[in-house]
Homo-oligomer: A and B are copies of this chain.
C-alpha cells in the first residue's frame, strides 16, 4: 500500500511515522530525451519505481523532484539543469525535515546519472551530522536486466538514454509522453577521451538519443519495472535490516 503524502494530513503522517514508516522519493530530470520522448523521462521512470517500492514497504511516497543535474545536455532547448549545490541543498533540506517529522529512514530512487554525486553528498551529511539513514537506488542490476529484456544494445556499450529501455517504461507509464513515429536509433561515435573530458553531448549527438528506441514497447516497460522492483527490493530488504 502506498501512502501518498499528497493524501495525508499531518496527523495521519504523524501516526504513520509513529508506526515506523519510511519515506520514499524519486529524483528525476527535466532534460532532452530525443525527438520522441518526454523531457520528464527520468522523472517518470524513477517515480514509477518509487511507487512500486513504497507499495511494497507501505512507505510514505513524497512528491517527486522533477528537476536534476543535467549539465551534459544543458544546451538542448527544454533541458532544465540544477547546479549540483542546489540539488544537494534540496535533498538535504527534505531529508532533515523527514527526520524531524519522525520517519525512520529515507529511500531515494534516482533516475538520472548526473544526480548521483549531489544526492550522495546530501546522504553523507545526513549520516555525519544527523546519523540518519538514507538509501539511494540507482537502477540496480541495470546491465543484466537490460540485456535480458532489450533487443537492441546500448550505445557505447553502457549508455542508456532515450533508448529501448527508457522509452519502454515511458510507454508503459505515461504513453502521452512518447511519439513513436519520431523515434529513431542513434549510435553516435563518441569523441576521443569522451569519459575523461567534459564534453557537451550535443557536439557529437545533436539528436539526443543513445541507442535504439524503435524497439520499445509498453510491455517491455512493464517487465523493466517489475525487474527493477525486484532488484531494488533486495537492497531495500537489506537496508531495513540495518535500521
Contacts and interface: CB of A to CB of B under 8 A. Distances in A.
A74 B129 CA distance: 13
B9 A134 contact: no
A189 interface: no
Contact of A100 (B63, B75, B93, B101): B75
B86 A90 contact: yes
A126 B197 CA distance: 11
A69 to B, nearest CB: 10
Interface string A90-101: 100110011011
A97 B79 contact: yes
Contact of A196 (B66, B90, B239): B239
Interface in A8-59: 8-14, 17, 30-40, 43-44
Contacts of A30: 5, 62-63
Contact of A121 (B36, B84, B197): B84
Copy count, this protein chain: 6
A221 interface: no
B182 A9 contact: yes
A93 B97 contact: no
A77 interface: yes
A118 to B, nearest CB: 8
Given A17-B77, A43-B63, A127-B198, A192 B242 contact: yes
Interface stretch (A142-150, A152-160, A173-181, A222-230): A173-181
Contacts of A7: 38, 176-177
B135 A5 contact: no
Contacts of A214: none
A78 B13 contact: yes
Interface of A: 5-14, 17, 30-40, 43-44, 62-64, 66-67, 71, 74-86, 89-90, 93-94, 97-98, 100-102, 117, 120-121, 123-124, 126-128, 133-138, 140, 174, 176-177, 179, 182, 191-193, 196-198, 208, 235-236, 238-239, 241-242
